[in-house]
Chains A and B, each alone.
Chain A
Amino acid sequence: MRASRILAFAGGGVALAVLPLLLSDYQTSLAIQILIFALLGMSIDLLAGYAGRTSLGHGAIFGVSTYIAIYWSSTLHGSPWVGILLGIIGAMALALVFALLAVRTSGVYFLLLTLALGMVVWGICLRWNSVTGAENGLRGDARPLWLATSAALYWLVLAVVALASWLAWLVVKSPFGLTLRGIRDSESRMLSLGFHSTRHLVLAFVVSGLLAGVGGGLYALFNEFVSPSTVAVAASVRGLLIAISGGIGTLFGSFLGAFVLVVLENVVSGYTERWQSVMGLLFIAMMIFAPTGLIGQWHRFWQWRRLGARDKPEQTKGT
């Protein structure tokens, strides 16, 4: 069992690694986006799935990292790697601020606060012309020469995302992750067991900020451009949609969610300019029909097949 698992991992790794040799440049750039946005989805899922705190401010955390990385390398002419590092630190600092203000609440109120905080970041990026370039955004040539081809960038992004996913998995499986799930299921019980729930939630938020910040830094390398739309609500919505469609609490489901969303966006954009409407309708349909995500629906379908249509599986209490 264990050997077969290792084999599967190795096989999957090799398959992912040779992808750019098989795909066109354009398809490789889609694959890069899938990996980066999967990381954003995971950072949201870490909070939503394991700590029971659904955030709508992660686009801002992700985007702040992108802003800092590009500002450092283009406006200040610093090393892009230092810029990305600073971006990640900035994202974690912002996550800490968000956390300190919001973790005492839960449910809808938490969502509302993170949304408002994220919008404040968006408002600052939009108005602070001398630093962020307002609506024109910032353009940067952050990518060093050896990353000029999309295949090279893909391999770097793959390696970093794999590392970050492993880190996220370790966090989720650790006693700390277990504590978070305890807080999600019953905060009062965890409190009475002597766990300091606020501290755990703040730490979880900062770890989540780390993941989003890494994603934002990679996005700076990939996109080489940042504007207020990178930190806008739509970016947070996209991340949350990825996490939810992949399945909240599955962590790696975000890869599936990101795959579906990025591919769909590119296919739909070929036919119509109304991608935003499609995303909105997708969100509405998902909330009504498949709140447990695609994997969850798949499970339910099989359960239903096994039990027969007569005994419907219990409606899962979704998000």
Chain B
Amino acid sequence: MAGINLFSILNGLTYAALLFLVAAGFTLIFGLLRIVNLAHGALYLVGGYAGYTVARFSGSFALGLVGAVVTSAAIGLLLDRGLLRFVSGFELRQVLLTLGAALVIDDMCLVVWGGDTFTVPIPPALNGAVQFAGVYYPRYRLFVLALGIVVFIGLWLLMQRTRLGALIRAGVDDSETIAAMGIDISKIFLGTFLLGAALAGLGGAVGGAFLTLYPGADSEILVFSLAVVVIGGRGSLVGAAVGALLVGLLNSIGQVVFPELAYFVIFGPMALILAFRPLGLFGRAA
């Protein structure tokens, strides 16, 4: 089709990498803790804002990333230990509680950072464009793509090759049995929640440098993350990667071909997958 070229495909891939960062945290928390963390978008936004502020004042992009990760993880800790533990065991109450938390966090972001649009400053090394195969492509977006791949490999190794990963995978399948075997599952729960929150914050800082940060950016990333998890299936890392690729590519192609109706382009495949596999491509019944 006209308009679809290497450039828009690369845009789709880099967006997919960002979506993976955000959705991986979401799906890990959903899979292991059975919590649909609707504050995930808010954690993305607050992480992005924190990353912007730190990077702006320290002049270091890397410090900005650290600031984003630490801020989101800290808020995640507060959310998990301070609020969610009072409703543990009640799935719907947990979800609705995170929704309330999202409203508060978003509103507080508006208080602290206002309604302006911010862009996380990119370090000079990642500025500019590289030329290959006849296109000029922003170097930063390639960095995001690489980061997404690195994080995927890291998480995959963590899940498949370490004892902690084995415990998390076992917890996804049957957390009660793990607890009965004498393992302190609550620590693993907390660790997973913090990891997920930190990934959202990392996504916020990384995404904030090319998608910009503004009130409402959290809703946009949340709806895409939901689509990724719905497509990929609960708790599956590979599912999140496949879902992110699908949503990212469809979104960037959709924006070129049907600029006003890009959402339909994501909605169609999502509906199709739901009709045939209600639990997603890689999802398993709880």
The CA-CA distance from A119 to B234 in the complex, in Å, is 19
Decide: B219 and A233 in contact? CB cutoff 8 A.
Answer: yes
The CA-CA distance from A155 to B270 in the complex, in Å, is 43
Decide: B261 and A291 in contact? CB cutoff 8 A.
Answer: no
Segment of B100-108, B157-165, B182-190, B235-243 in the binding face: B100-108
Known: A120-B267, A123-B223, A233-B219. A280 touches B101 (CB 8 A): yes
Considering only residues 33-87 of chain B, those with a C-beta below 8 Å from chain A are 34, 36, 38, 83, 86-87
Question: What is the size category of the interface that chain A forms with chain B?
Answer: 35 or more
Which among B96, B259, B267 is the interface contact of A283 at CB below 8 angstroms?
Answer: B96
Decide: B270 and A116 in contact? CB cutoff 8 A.
Answer: yes
The CA-CA distance from A101 to B230 in the complex, in Å, is 12
Looking at the assembled complex, report how far the CB atom of B46 sits from the nearest CB atom of chain A, in whole angstroms.
Answer: 14
Q: Mark A94-110, 1 if CB is under 8 A from B, else 0.
A: 00000011101101110
Q: Which residue of B lies closest to A117 (CB)?
A: B267
CB contacts (< 8 Å) of B270 on chain A: these are 116
Decide: A284 and B100 in contact? CB cutoff 8 A.
Answer: yes
* A277 in the interface (beta carbon within 8 A): yes
* A287 in the interface (beta carbon within 8 A): yes
Decide: A274 and B111 in contact? CB cutoff 8 A.
Answer: yes
Decide: B90 and A115 in contact? CB cutoff 8 A.
Answer: no
Decide: A107 and B230 in contact? CB cutoff 8 A.
Answer: no
* A27 in the interface (beta carbon within 8 A): no
Decide: A124 and B223 in contact? CB cutoff 8 A.
Answer: no
Question: What is the size category of the interface that chain B forms with chain A?
Answer: 35 or more
Known: A130-B260, A276-B106. A284 touches B97 (CB 8 A): yes
The CA-CA distance from A100 to B91 in the complex, in Å, is 23
Decide: B36 and A288 in contact? CB cutoff 8 A.
Answer: no
CB contacts (< 8 Å) of B271 on chain A: these are 101
Main SS of the interface on chain A?
helix
* A318 in the interface (beta carbon within 8 A): yes
Decide: B223 and A284 in contact? CB cutoff 8 A.
Answer: no
CB contacts (< 8 Å) of B139 on chain A: these are none
Main SS of the interface on chain B?
helix
- Most central of A101, A116, A127, A288 by chain B CB within 10 Å: A116
* B99 in the interface (beta carbon within 8 A): yes
CB contacts (< 8 Å) of B90 on chain A: these are 291, 317-319
- Most central of A108, A119, A287 by chain B CB within 10 Å: A287
Decide: A111 and B92 in contact? CB cutoff 8 A.
Answer: yes
Decide: A107 and B260 in contact? CB cutoff 8 A.
Answer: no
Looking at the assembled complex, report how far the CB atom of B257 sits from the nearest CB atom of chain A, in whole angstroms.
Answer: 14
CB contacts (< 8 Å) of A279 on chain B: these are 100, 103
Looking at the assembled complex, report how far the CB atom of B113 sits from the nearest CB atom of chain A, in whole angstroms.
Answer: 15
* A172 in the interface (beta carbon within 8 A): no
Which among B91, B264, B274 is the interface contact of A108 at CB below 8 angstroms?
Answer: B91
Considering only residues 65-115 of chain A, those with a C-beta below 8 Å from chain B are 100-102, 104-105, 107-109, 111-113, 115
* A307 in the interface (beta carbon within 8 A): no
Considering only residues 116-143 of chain A, those with a C-beta below 8 Å from chain B are 116-117, 119-120, 122-124, 127-130
Q: Which residue of B lies closest to A97 (CB)?
A: B271
CB contacts (< 8 Å) of B94 on chain A: these are 287
Considering only residues 182-232 of chain B, those with a C-beta below 8 Å from chain A are 219-220, 222-223, 226-227, 229-230
Known: A115-B226, A124-B264, A276-B107. A107 touches B92 (CB 8 A): yes
Decide: A116 and B260 in contact? CB cutoff 8 A.
Answer: no
Cross-chain pairs A/B with CB under 8 angstroms, 5 sampled = A54-B92, A101-B271, A116-B223, A119-B223, A291-B90
The 7 A-B residue pairs with the shortest CB-CB distance in the complex, in nearest-first order: A283-B100, A280-B103, A280-B104, A119-B223, A123-B263, A284-B100, A116-B226
B interface vs A, CB < 8 Å?
A: 34, 36, 38, 83, 86-87, 90-97, 99-104, 106-108, 111, 219-220, 222-223, 226-227, 229-230, 234, 259-264, 266-267, 270-271, 274-275, 278-279
